[in-house]
């Protein structure tokens, strides 16, 4: 079981996540999010993470200039594309940056799964996350929303994939049991307030995911 703690905003919590066993740490570069970081803050968080833990830069429909500045200033290993990026854009960013790319596919109904094969052909990993409602001011992710895990029960894809969306220490065992996920992502589920990670919740989540 590999766990990603996303939306880290301090070096201390990032270092704690790594010590607790996180395989990935996520840094958000999307200003509307309460977890968004500027380049200097993101670098401080990233360098607090030891080698061997994958540092992931989350962006949403970002232009080349922003991508270039992130890669130049922050030691990131992977891009997480959380917008409406096309398969062609995924391939282009992978080639441009030389970084691995994880493409997020939002799920609300079975038809949403049909987008996955095209992204699998160009991305290093896929993340299946809850697709937020169109109304209500929801962010692309980190909304504490889950989708119906039965939609992907028993499904297998060709490459690595990760489950996200409304996960907590309490429900991750059920999520893993239903979906067969071997990688899980959490953000709001380990927070004491939006953008504020709780070290105890991080530890509890990683323990629960591994025991699942």
Q: Tell me how far CA of residue 164 lies from CA of 12, 35, 48, 71, in angstroms.
A: 24, 17, 24, 24
- H or E segment and range at residue 126: strand 125-130
Q: How far apart are CA 31 and CA 39, in angstroms?
A: 12
Q: Which listed residue (6, 61, 68, 185) is catalytic? A: 6
Least Cα distance to 191 among 2, 26, 48, 7 occurs for: 7
Q: How far apart are CA 67 and CA 165, in angstroms?
A: 25
Q: How far apart are CA 158 and CA 148, in angstroms?
A: 22
Active site residue 198: no
Q: Which listed residue (77, 129, 148, 198) is catalytic? A: 129
Active site residue 129: yes
Q: How far apart are CA 161 and CA 125, in angstroms?
A: 5
List, by residue number, the catalytic residues: 6, 129
């Amino acid at each position: 079981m590999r766990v990603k703690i996303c939306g880290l905003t301090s070096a201390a919590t990032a270092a704690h996540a790594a010590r607790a066993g996180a395989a990935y740490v996520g840094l958000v570069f999307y200003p509307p999010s309460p977890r968004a970081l500027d380049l200097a803050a993101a670098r401080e968080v990233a360098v607090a993470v030891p080698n061997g833990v994958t540092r992931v830069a989350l962006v949403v429909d970002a232009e080349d200039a922003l991508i270039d500045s992130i890669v130049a200033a922050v030691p990131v290993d992977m891009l997480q594309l959380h917008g409406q990026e096309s398969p062609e854009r995924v391939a282009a960013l992978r080639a441009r940056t030389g970084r691995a790319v994880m493409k997020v596919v939002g799920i609300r109904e079975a038809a949403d799964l049909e987008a996955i094969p095209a992204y699998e052909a160009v991305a290093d990993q896929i993340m299946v996350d809850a697709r937020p409602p169109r109304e209500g001011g929801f962010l692309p992710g980190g909304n504490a929303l889950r989708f119906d895990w039965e939609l992907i029960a028993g499904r297998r894809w060709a490459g690595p994939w990760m489950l996200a969306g409304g996960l907590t220490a309490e429900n991750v065992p059920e999520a893993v049991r239903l979906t067969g996920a071997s990688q899980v992502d959490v953000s709001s589920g380990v927070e004491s307030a939006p953008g504020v990670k709780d070290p105890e919740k991080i530890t509890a989540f990683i323990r629960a995911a591994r025991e699942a």
